[in-house]
Amino acid sequence: MSHDVIVVGGGPGGYVAAIRAAQLGGKVAIIEQNELGGVCLNQGCIPTKTLLTCAEKWRDLQNCANYGLKAENIYLDYSQVLARKSKVVLQLRSGVEQLIKSNGIEVLYGQARLQADGSLLVTGEANEVRVEGRAVIMATGSSPADLTIPGGELPAVINSDQLLALSQLPRSLAVIGAGAVGIEFASIFQAFGVQVTVIEMLPTILPNLDSDIIKRAGLALRKQGLSIMTNAKVTNIQQNEQGLKLTVDNGKELTELVVEKVLKATGRCPNIAQLGLEAAGVTCDRQGIPVNGRMETNVPGLYAVGDVTGRFMWAHAASSAGMIAAENAMGGNAVFDDRAVPGSIFITPEIAGVGLTEQEAGPNICVSRFNFAANGKAVSMGNSDGLVKIIADAEDHRVLGMHIVGPHASDLILEGGLAIRNRLTANDIARTIHPHPTLSEAVMEAAQGIGSTSIHQVRVSG
């Protein structure tokens, strides 16, 4: 079978690449080992956000008296929460399948392996088939990393996929790793009433974020009842009659913690094993498959996108890179713009950032902050915890970074992405009329603070 483009992997990078190549007139095949939609749709972004929505509504119900509402005999039915999660995933996966079908893309299910002659051998449950393509796009994603500590292999030490599959809530949960995955799951399960402890070996949670955002997020999470241990390392896990006993070393003393389940959230590893990369001459390392701005590997006609490259492990980045790879595979000349890749962490309050942090930007900058406590919409929502922070060049006030912790941060961050990509100044945002009352006014006010003073910010005399 000969195709213009063969895509290996049906996640947000792969299926978007396949659709884009088909839109450009290519004969396209997509090879998927499990289910279309990849980890994002089936075990990651979508199911976790569905659980988060349920958790937020449960928290709102418990605090409805703050809004003049009274509710009695409320209870959490986790089986129905899971049923809704499955329904949402099925609906969206069916939508992806329909998109693939409507674009005339052939779907092959099985394990794909590159051959020395550039073809792919697809091994399914019942047979093997060899396929050939003028171009191949690798989009095989990533998997949760294992724990390399004594006891890390115990059955109750689980990854994020296994946590989502639990039919009942655990009474207690230790989360090892305070990156995006660990903090999201910790926030969700704490809201459902699980006693959660987060253990992070670095000095802060969410270590790659802007320092102001880390501080505000940490305060909010602890206020909600989340226990967070930083500068702490789990050195051993043992099974006993009470559950799992963790030995934690904070550099000064050893402490013990007993929990029902342990979530290993120490990162993800690219899915590069069994792909036949070596036979095809493709360069790779522990981080993944290196690519250039056109998403090309070192082998002509072979591209890689998404988590498998080890760069920007976000679903939206994978989709954008998938489009770039597909356009180039079909004869185009597209380049991935890595200056404005937003990141979002879906907890309460939400976190989002794009561009440079204050730590990364250096000394020649202007910084402005605006608190949601001074935003009318946020106050009326009863969700005014957080801020918008803008970092701009000291001379021309061009926006270098935007970071938000607060309500709907993942939606608001787009304004920062547009500004950075198009080299806009803070004044371009400040002079754009924002509707009232909206959360977006907090972005406008933060922009006003670059080189001037926000209207709704109290001036400090002296």
| Positions marked active-site | 436
Determine whether 16 is exposed, middle or buried from the number of CB atoms within 10 Å of its CB (0-12, 13-18, 19+): buried
Phi, psi of 149 (to 5 degrees): -130, 155
Determine whether 225 is exposed, middle or buried from the number of CB atoms within 10 Å of its CB (0-12, 13-18, 19+): exposed
Coil, helix or strand at residue 409: helix
Other Cβ atoms within 10 Å of 57 Cβ, number: 12
Helix residue ranges per DSSP H, 330-413: 358-361, 376-381, 409-412
Q: Which residues pair with 137 in a beta bridge?
A: 7, 303
Report which of 289, 384, 305 is spatially closest to residue 16, judged by C-alpha positions: 305
Report which of 306, 440, 425 is spatially closest to residue 370, judged by C-alpha positions: 440
**Interatomic CA distance for residues 54 and 379, integer angstroms:** 22
**Interatomic CA distance for residues 265 and 166, integer angstroms:** 16
Q: Give the 3-state DSSP-derived string for 268-288, with helices as H, strands as E and coil as C.
A: EEECCCCCCHHHHCCCCECCE
Residue type, 84: R
Q: Are 308 and 270 in contact (CB under 8 A)?
A: yes
- The H or E element containing residue 353 is strand 350-355
**Interatomic CA distance for residues 141 and 315, integer angstroms:** 10
CA 436 remoteness from chain centre:
30
- The H or E element containing residue 197 is strand 195-199
Q: How far is CA 283 from CA 17, 304, 370, in A?
A: 21, 11, 46
Sequence-distant (6+) residues with CB within 8 A of 379 are 372, 373
How do strand 233-240 and strand 243-249 relate by DSSP bridges? antiparallel
Written as six digits, the tokens of 241 are: 């009659």
